[in-house]
Amino acid sequence: MDAPRPAPPQDLHFEAAVERPLSVVYRGEEGAWEGHDYRVEVIATRLGLDGFDVVVDFRDLEAALDALLEPLRGRLLGEMGLRGPMDLARLLATELALKVPPPARLAEVALTDGQGRRLAYRP
């Protein structure tokens, strides 16, 4: 008979992350059009784990991110009232924070471009 598995420590912080691709176009600071292919990474965190040993259900986090990214695909960020990538990260963080069930919380939304440059927003 297998020994019972010990409960996960409840005094440690755990993270769960999902990623999705997104291509966007916006006007840069100089007024020229810029297009970027990003990997959008969303990180949720919590102290301890739930009864299933998870931070959040990955499927729920992916579905929430997909729903937010879909209207952005094929659009200019300016059409959505966004000036650039930082506005995009802020918008995603604001909306996703409402979708992460407590006691978990949204820790970060990051955009990484094809050259490995990373912009992170932590609410």
The pLDDT mean for the chain works out to 91
Residue 9: pLDDT above 70?
Answer: no
Average pLDDT estimate for 65-92: 93
Residue 14 lies in a domain: no
Q: Residue 5: what pLDDT? A: 64
Distance CA 72, CA 52 (A): 33
Q: Are 21 and 84 in contact (CB under 8 A)?
A: no
Q: Count up the domains in the chain and report the number.
A: 1
User: How confident is the model over 79-91, as pLDDT tens digits?
Assistant: 889 989 999 999 9
Q: Residue 8: what pLDDT? A: 58
User: How confident is the model over 27-42, as pLDDT tens digits?
Assistant: 877 888 888 899 999 9
pTM of the model: 0.86
Residue 53 DSSP symbol: S
Residue 119 lies in a domain: no
Q: Residue 32: what pLDDT? A: 87
Contacts of 115 (CB under 8 A, 6+ apart): none
Domain that holds residue 76: 24-113
Residue 91 lies in a domain: yes
